[in-house]
Amino acid sequence: MEFEIWWLLSIPIFFGLGWIAARIDIKQLLSESRSLPKGYFKGLNFLLNEQPDKAIDAFIEIVRLDPETADLHFALGNLFRRRGETERAIRMHQNLLLRPDLPPEQRMQAQYELGQDFLKAGLLDRAEEVFQELTETAYSIQARRALLEIFQREKEWVQAIDAAKALQNSGTGNRNKQIAQFYCELAEDELVNTHPEKALPLLETALSTDRMSVRATILTGDALVALGKPEEALATWRRVEKQSISHTVLVAQRLMEGFQSVGRPQEGISLLKSYLSETASIDLLEVLFKAVLKQEGVEAANTLVHDELRRTPTLLGLDKLLEAQLLVVPPEIREDLSFVRNLVQRYASRLSRYQCSHCGFEARQFYWQCPGCHQWETYPPKRVEEMKLSS
């Protein structure tokens, strides 16, 4: 009972202490707010009202009157950079770095912001220099991410591999898919320069890094063809079906040409038909249509397209059916049918694009890296119309 009485008596005491502490905090807050220049609140108000031009003018006036306000320098520099005024942002952050009294934490922040300015301005060499200096600081992860972006822009794939591995080792997540793509870029360079023997080890490393890398598998087959090993290339390309059945469309033309080169075109047609039965694809149908037309004739090609259009009705498929029909219709109606096909093609062409799943950027050809957002493996191997049907 005594304990309960003491506990009840202590409540007013704690309440009084809390009231005193709150009064002290309020007084301190009011004191600090009075010490801030009026222009600060004016600039803040402009920002809140989405008026960056007026906010910049207000902040510039404060910096002119009080050059020691480092935080305002940062805010102003970031505003300039967002507006695309990179020269002014660079000057703002460089001026900060010239101050001998700038604390170490703010000096590192100013360096990082300056690197971002250079990056936004496209001054990649200067940005790289700044970020390299920050790799062993508290801004290590941010700096390494920026360096990875720079190396990709410059197509410095060896350095990009090192940067991605360093980021992965710092605990920022798995980057094996990205690293495998960098090895593929190196391998493609070797293939372009007719060095398939140098490309193969790079592709082996890519596949050991990411065993599901469709691109590495496709390029391995290309290297084997260049080395005069078509049977090994065919066996390699067929691995794509185990990695991703939808990506077999990317290797369909290679497979068909490969089977034709070894004298087994019918085997290639049968294989592509099995792929088409598992994954509807206008691009796969295109390759198969041409192969069937060449090997089995017009009627067989026409039947193939007709059956596929019934299974998956699309404008792109209709265009292919009209192409097949033009091969068999009487001359007197060919002109009218050709006119209809031209109309269909006009509308179908808008749907015959690939679309990035990350940023929505559309392209006529398939990309491993999106030209819009620069993300890797964000393009599904299907056209826009096919994606809409499957969603």
AA identity, residue 217:
T
| Contact of 375 with 359, CB cutoff 8 Å | yes
Polymer length in residues for the chain: 391
Q: Where are the alpha helices (DSSP H) in 36-139?
A: 38-48, 52-65, 70-82, 86-97, 104-121, 124-133
| Contact of 337 with 325, CB cutoff 8 Å | yes
Closest to 77 measured CA to CA, from 268, 63, 294: 63
Q: How many CB atoms lie within 10 A of CB 29?
A: 10
Joined together, the tokens standing for residue 250 give 């990317």
Answer yes or no: is 184 a known binding residue: no
Answer yes or no: is 370 a known binding residue: yes
Q: How many CB atoms lie within 10 A of CB 292?
A: 23
Specify the residue for token string 């008596």.
9
- ∠ CA(293), CA(299), CA(303), 5° rounding? 95
Answer yes or no: is 373 a known binding residue: yes
Beta bridge partners of 376: 369
Dihedral of the alpha carbons of 207, 212, 217, 219, in degrees to the nearest 10: -80
| Rounded CA separation 66/38 (Å) | 12
- Contact partners, residue 181, CB within 8 Å, separation at least 6: 206, 213, 215, 368, 369, 376, 377
> What is the per-residue DSSP string for 178-208?
HHHHHHHHHHHHHHHTT-HHHHHHHHHHHHH
| Rounded CA separation 30/62 (Å) | 20
| Rounded CA separation 194/163 (Å) | 28
Handedness of CA 204, 209, 211, 216 (dihedral sign): negative
| Contact of 143 with 108, CB cutoff 8 Å | no
Annotated binding residues for Fe cation: 356, 359, 370, 373
Annotated binding residues: 356, 359, 370, 373
